[in-house]
Amino acid sequence: MGNSECGRFSAVWDGGERENAVRNRPDPGTHAPAVSHFGSGTLTFHMPCLFKTDSGTDLFVTGPLNRPKDGIAALTVETDWSPYTFAMNWRFTRAGH
């Protein structure tokens, strides 16, 4: 990735199950901040973050609850603590979006 930065990108799912069924196109001179990691129309944003909560406190992460996106939905993450970096997944809800 060299000196390129994360930037705007477009992603379209063709309806397939394989990882390359999501076509991910970053703006020129940048790289996309998300990848098709799991297949099945799932787009993954890897966050270089580690979240830790106090004992007895859970962490719940989701997309914007009152701002639905046409053709794609945020998947939620719920944990009391994970020793791994964070990833946010979005799943396409229909092909061609």
pLDDT, position 3? 42
The count of domains in the chain is 1
Quick check: 90 pLDDT over 90?
yes
Residue, of 81 and 77, whose pLDDT is higher? 77
Give me the half-sphere count of Cα atoms (radius 13 Å) on the Cβ side of residue 87: 13
Task: Give the residue numbers spanning the domain of 41.
Answer: 5-92
The answer, as to whether pTM is greater than 0.85, is: no
Residue 97 within any structural domain of the chain: no
- Write out pLDDT tens, residues 22-63: 998 998 888 888 889 889 999 999 888 777 788 888 888 888
| DSSP 8-state code for residue 19 | G
